[in-house]
Amino acid sequence: MKNHNKGRRDFIRNAGAAGIAAAVLPSFGAFASDLPGTGFTQKPLPYAYTALEPVIDAMTMEIHYSKHAAAYAKNLNDAFTEEKINTAGKSLESILRDISKYSGKIRNNGGGHYNHELFWQCMKPGGGSRPSGKLAAAIDRGFGSFDAFKTQFTDAGKNRFGSGWAWLVLNNDKKLVVGSTPNQDNPLMNLSDLKGTPLLGLDVWEHAYYLKYQNKRPDYINAWWNVVNWDYVEKRFESA
């Protein structure tokens, strides 16, 4: 138990050092129903740090949001300033689609900011269950069944070597596909092998689950299905 507590303290200390940004206290108002534009600053978390327990513990949620995700937003804006990039009239999505024109710092932090802003909204207290309506029908057409889709998505997250993300994407042919990207890349990027509009994203970086699940990423993914916000994913699908 002593070693376990030491590991938790080391994790928290390292996360704080990596965060760079000051903690952002959560506000519990809802986000917009879809993402017409992500923006370049961190939005308030749409629920309390404790809201997704027991799937995601409060300490992990607080560190993840107020340190890791806050750092991506801060570092992205620092990069724009350092590189003298005028973002007036530009969206983050448009920058990511042309990411090959930008620096590695913008790629890493722009992807990290976008991915996390999407990730928070893809979850909610009392989530889970299954999609309905047009999205459910499209999943059945594309994967054969919801269970087959769930298995494929779970495998994408489990089998992503190192850090990265698992995705449900509406590709350029308007077909649903599942895949993963490394680090903070995402399917919007013109450098990504997986391309399209992200509908559902799962963070499989260790900082997203290590305090509760240690090295058991499959356990984290299996539990995560219980907090998926299918209402939000359906709205993304219908507006894509």
Give residue limits of the domains in the chain.
Answer: 1-12+57-240
**Over the Cα atoms of the chain, what is R_g?**
17
From residue 208, give the alpha-carbon distance in Å to each of 121, 155, 171, 203. 15, 17, 26, 6
CA distance linking residue 12 with residue 162, whole number of Å? 20
Q: What is the pLDDT of residue 50?
A: 98
CA distance 201 to 194: 13
| DSSP 8-state assignment for residue 64 | I
**Structure-token match 């932090």, residue found:** 109
The pLDDT score that the predictor gives to residue 31 is 31
Give the tokens for residue 109: 């932090």
Q: Please list, in sequence order, all residues whose beta carbon lies within 8 angstroms of the beta carbon of residue 236, skipping any fewer than 6 positions away.
A: 34, 35, 197, 198, 199, 200
**Angstrom distance (rounded) from CA 68 to CA 228:** 21
Q: Determine the pLDDT at residue 29.
A: 30
The CATH number assigned to the domain with range 1-12+57-240 reads 3.55.40.20
Phi and psi (nearest 5°) for 164? 165, -155
Distance CA 52, CA 61 (A): 9
| Cβ contact 170:197 at 8 Å | yes
85-122 tens-digit pLDDT: 999 999 999 999 999 999 999 999 999 999 999 999 99
Q: What angle do CA 128, 229, 150 make, to 5 degrees?
A: 55
E-state strands within the chain: 164-170, 176-182, 197-203
Distance, first Cα to last Cα, the chain: 48
Q: Closest Cα partner for 134 from 237, 27, 2, 5?
A: 237
Low-confidence ranges of the chain (pLDDT < 70): 1-36
The pTM of the full predicted model, rounded to 2 decimals, is: 0.85
Instruction: Please report how many Cα atoms fall inside a 13 Å half-sphere around the Cα of residue 156, on the Cβ side.
Output: 23
pLDDT at 20: 35
For residue 147 the two structure tokens come to: 């269970």
Joined together, the tokens standing for residue 60 give 């992990």
* Residue in 174, 226, 228, 223 with CA at minimum distance from that of residue 200: 228
Predicted local confidence at residue 43, as pLDDT: 96
